[in-house]
Structure formats: C-alpha cells, structure tokens
Structure 1
Amino acid sequence: MADDSQGSRDDVRRFRRNYRDEVDGAALYQAMADGEESPELARVYRRLGDVERRHAEFWAQRIRAAGSPAPPPRPSVRTRLLSGLARRFGAGLLVPTVARTERLGRNMYDDQPEAAATSMPSDERSHAFLLGEIRGGVPGSSLARLEGRHRTPGGNAVRAAVLGANDGLLSNLSLVTGVAGSGVLPGTAVLVTGLAGLLAGAFSMALGEWVSVQSSRELAERQLAIEADELAALPEEEAEELRLIYQARGLPEEEAYSLAKRLLDDPDNALDVMAREELGIDPDERGGNPWTAALTSFLLFSIGAIIPVLPFFWLDTRTGVLVSAIAGGLGLFALGAAASLFTGQGMWKSGLRQMVLGLLAAAVTFGVGRALGVAIG
C-alpha cells in the first residue's frame, strides 16, 4: 500500500512537471507569434502553441484524475521574461533557444505510458524537426525574406551581450581588488587604476570586435562576387545545387527543382536566394556593421566594468573594496541569472554559481595583491 501511495505521488509530480513544461511552451509560442513579422511563421507558431495547450490539458486531466488540483496555467518567470523579449525584439531572437529545448525534449514522452496511445510523442519530435528547419531556413515562396533573419542566431547575440558585460565586471573587479589589496595605494589611485582598466578593456574588446566583423564582411563580399560569377556562367549547375538543398530539407524532387528554377529565373532575386541558401549569408547584412559591433562591445564592457569602480569615487580604500565586492557580486548574480534565460538552467543556480566563481577570482587577486604589497612594503 505504501508503495502504491509513493508511486501515485511520483506520478502526480511527473504529471505536474509535464503540465508546467507544456504551459510554458504554449505561452512561449504565443509570444513568438505575437512578435513575428512574417504572417506565415506567425501562423506556424500559433499552431504549435495550440498543440502545447492540448498537451497541457491532457496532463491537467491526469492530475485531477489522481485526486489533486491542477495548477493554474501560469507560465514560469523564465518563460514570462523570454516572452517579453520575443514580443519586444521579435521571435527570431528566441528561435535558437527554443529549437535547442525542443531537440532535447523530443523523446520526453517515449517512456511515459500515459502518452503511448496519444499523438504526443510524435508531436514532440515534429516540433523539434520544425524548429530545426526554421532555425536553418524555411523553403517556400517567402524564402528570401525569411532566410536571413532566421539564419542569424539572435539568442546568441543576447548571450554575447551578457558575456560582454560579465567580462568587464569580472576583469575590473579583479583588477581593483588586487590593487586595493596591496595596501600601498590610496583610494584615488585605485579609482584611476579601475578607470584605466575600464578604458583599456573596452577599447581592446571594441577593436577585436571590429576586426572580427570587418573580416567576416570582407569574406562575405568575396563569396557573393564568386557566386554572382557562377550564376552568370553556370545557371543550370546553380539550379541543381539549390534543388539538392531543398530535397535535403524534405521536398519531393520535382517540387524542389520547380521551386529552385522559379527562384533563380528572377535575375533580381537569384543572387539573394543563393547567398542565403548555399552560403548562409544575408546580402543585406553581409556579416554586420563593424562600427556598430565595436560600439556595442565597448558599451557593454564599460557597463560591466564601471560597477566595481563606482564605490571608489566616494569611499576610502578599505571600505571601497568591500562595497566594490558586494556590488560586483550582485552584478555577477544578475548576469548569471540573465544568462539562464537562454541556457534553461535555474536562475538562482546560474546566478549564484556566477557570483561565487567571480568573487573567488576577486579574492585570489586580492590575496596576490596583499602578498605583493607586503613584499614591496
């Protein structure tokens, strides 16, 4: 009897976990539909959301059948934050994150007996495949408009922003605590050191980003020039390449060839299509604007780097380093929690891990600075 009771409790916990996952999925797809500019993709996201809602209701019924009340259909904090990002910045921002989540969960119902007689196992695999296709590119009449935006992993851009601010915060926190730990410099000197570290790091990050994006842009322009020459000299071979791409995505041979031929018969559209499909390049962006990338990198690094420096504007060295460590720890926690939106980890776990590791690094540099200060003094 005890075993049956324990099994029932375990089942209810599993039902509730499935229910929460489906509620979150439905809310996220609805938000992506709301933030999607393409009517075709918006309809796809709404259909996916409808399927997730049906799944949620299935698990709600199982919870009630087991004698427990079903939780309210309220999305998690993480899902609400991601939904806000999708509505504000567009669904493409979340496609990499959602595609990864669907891929990891594509077999989640395969060993759950309640789902065996339903379409849920195949639904989950279908969702994973579809999101993978959206992330990689959607063949069809609106191909040229959809391809570039969804080939660009917007979620990675946001993660890069979080990492940029984190680099600035952690490096400058370690710098000012190490200098302050030496005990040989007044608070004003620590402040100047921190500001110098901010500028040096920000300019270094900006220059590195400029070189990276400019190099990508030059490579893209070279590839586009080669592709334009091939289209002019070998149009049939290019149509065959495009047909093979669409066949690999699941289109029948005749339909794939017809679509490829129709797209390449338009001279104004042919290079755009081949650039997106064969090269994975958005001809409008060509790798991005190096000056925008450099300025963004400079600002993000500076935002993180100024946090541990601010206390030294008003406080002496001893008090300043303590307040700097507290402010830096809170900043690291916030950045770790922000990163968890895209990794799927718990916000508290990710934030605390980031804070502990960052403060440990600062403590080590403080200890090294103290040892050097004693040796020099």
Structure 2
Amino acid sequence: LIITIFYSTDNPLNKSAITVPQRAVSTFDQQDLSINMHILKWKVTLEMIKDKPLFGSGIGTFKINYLDYQADFLQKNPGYIKYSGKAAEAHNEYLQMLAELGIPGFLVFLSIIFVFYSLALKYLKNKHNNQNRLIVFGLLMGITCFLIHCLFTFPFHVPVLGSTFFIFLGLSVVYIGGFGLSKVDTKKNIRIKLNLNYLIKKIIIILMFIVGIFLIYTLVFKPYFAEIHYFKGIKYYEKGNYNDALKDFKHAVWLAPYNGRILHALGSTYYHLDIQDEAQETLQRTKYYFNDRNIFRNLGLSYKQSGNYQEAEKEFKQAIYLDPNFTKAYIDLAYLYATQEDYDKAIIEWNKILEIEPNFSEKYNVLYFIGLTYQKKQMPDKALEYFLEALQLTPEGSPIIEEIEKEIYNIYKDRLNK
C-alpha cells in the first residue's frame, strides 16, 4: 500500500516523469504512439490466429512470421504504416499463445489456470484458520495480477518472470493440497521398487548421465559459446575488421547453425569482404530462421554488387514490403534504377523518401541525386530547381557543397553558350 501511494503521487521522492494515474490515463489516449503500436501488433496477431486457428504456427515462430503478416495488414490498412516495426512479442500473452499454439494449445493453458482457481476458491470457501486463508488469498491475488499483466505485455517471455510465475503456481497448489483438500498420510505412500538387478541399474544410470551431459552441452554450452563468438564478431564488424569478424561468426555458426541472427551477421560479413556467392547463400539460409528487413536489403546489395540486378530489385522491394518506412531500401532501389539508366523509376524512389520523411536528415543528398537524375534525363531546368534547394539545406563544411555548385555552374554555363 505504501509503495502504491509513493508511485501514485507527485512527490520529491518519486523521480518518475509521470505518476501511475497519469500513466493509466495515457493508456486510453488514442493519439499515443505506444498505444497505437500495441494496437497494430494485436491486430496483426489476430490475422495470424485467423490464418492458423487450429494448430497455430508453432512455439517461438511469432517473431519470424510477424513482419510478413504486418506487411500484408499494412497493404490493406496504410493508416497504420507510421506505427509499424519489428516485434518479437505481441504484448499480449494470450493472443501470442493463440497464434503460436492454436486454440487447442491455448485451451490446455486455460485448463491449468482453471484448475488452480477451482482449488484456490474451494479452499477459501472451506473453514480454515484465517492465517492459512490469508496466505492462499495473497498467492491468488499475486497470480491474478500477473495474469492481468499478461494482457498488455509479455512476462512469460522474460525467463525470470515466467519461471517465477510457474514456481508460485506450483507452490500454491502444494500449499492448498497440504492444508485441507487432500491430506496425504505419508506412511501410506506407495513405494515403487525397480525389480532390476544391479548391473541394469548401473547401465541406466550411466546412460542417463551421458544423455544429461549431451543435452547440457547441446542446449546450454553450445548456444552460450556461440553468443560469445557472435558478440566478439560484432565488435570486429563495427570496427570494420571484417576478416577477424568472419572467423568469430563462422565459429558461432558452427556452434549454433540455426541461429538466424548469427547467420545474418556472417552473410553480411561475406558481403563486405566481397565474397558474394557465400554472402548470398548464407543470407538466403538466414530467411528460414530469422526475419528482418536488413536480411533482404543486404541480400539485394550483394546481388547488385555481383550484377544480378533483377534479384537485387526483388530483395529491395521485399525489404520495403516488410517495412514501408525503410528509407535505406528506397535509396538502394533508387541507386539500382539509376545504374540501369531507368531514371523515371529512380526519381519515383527518391521522392518516396521525402514523402516518408519530409525532414529526412540527409534531405539535401536526396535532392542532389534527384537533380543529377534529371541531368541524365537532359532536363537541366528541373535539375537546377533541385540543386538550388539542396544547396540551401546542405550543412556548412560539407564536401557535397562543391559538387552541387559545380553542377549549378555547368547548367548556367550551358545556358550562356546557347
């Protein structure tokens, strides 16, 4: 109660930007960016459920499938584009369970919760001493609050929170069972004896030990060391030391061959080292385990580098399909069209960047390239219009100023010569 009052009021000790009541009110603000992002995730998740209601898409596949379903949803509802983005969780555990497990799987979870509440309520209705009832009531309220919390976030996907929930659930059932519903006389417990000779028992123990070691090595140590090599590789990658990064990423992939993040990093490193065949093969494999707009963009860059413009265009468009606000992919696509001398398409892509981000940080660069493209189309007047606007927006000291001024000078010079 004291903690609730502390965080619910505006006082010197409460360093939070807003109080709990203010945060609660903001939950219903339809203009709030965070709320609309959550609504988009819920609507996209509902589309997943509609698509595979019976068995779902499989445990852990939400983050792999989300971008594809979101892209399809945005095609029909473009008003949500500004709220789009990646999502590893639905921010509603019940919707995500339905999407991944289907209706039967979700009903299994509900049945566990139903049995727990039935036991707890039955216990509270029976005549027990107040101390025990108070303990059970506290456990019941704690689990209820957790389940309500699941409506708006993803505690089951945070290992500490998820494991804590099921530990408390189990302890609650044990506590209830030990104080009234089903008292068990320990003297009457049935002892199960294995009628096996000593040698067979020994073999079973050894086999269990070997299997345990294998599982620990496969499920714990290999992924752990893969992550270590992955993060070492990332540090080299960020410094531009691609050869050393490649060694760590290759080792990480050997340890965790189905980790999409690591495969993506390996493929991107191959691209920077100009080993395009390996880059394309690795990035294509990444798609089976990981879904990210940058996979398609990097794959497009690799195809462009190797001269396969048709495949490059396909990958850039897929990146844009997954994220309609992905300005880098529009830039890459515009460059690709300009390289192919398809200037009209290039101009369309440049202009899309300015439509998406009117205050784009490098707007002057976009305007400059549009001007250059019009120059290629033999339209100097239109080019001059963009060059002049780019010159006004270019930061002082930028090396591009000299290039823009040179283009403007050449246009005026050609006019005088005519």
What TM-score does the superposition give when structure 2 sets the normalisation length? Answer: 0.21
Q: Does 1 or 2 have the higher relative contact order (CA < 8 Å, sep 6+)?
A: 1
What TM-score does the superposition give when structure 1 sets the normalisation length? Answer: 0.23
Higher helix proportion, which one?
Answer: 1
Max Rg structure: 2
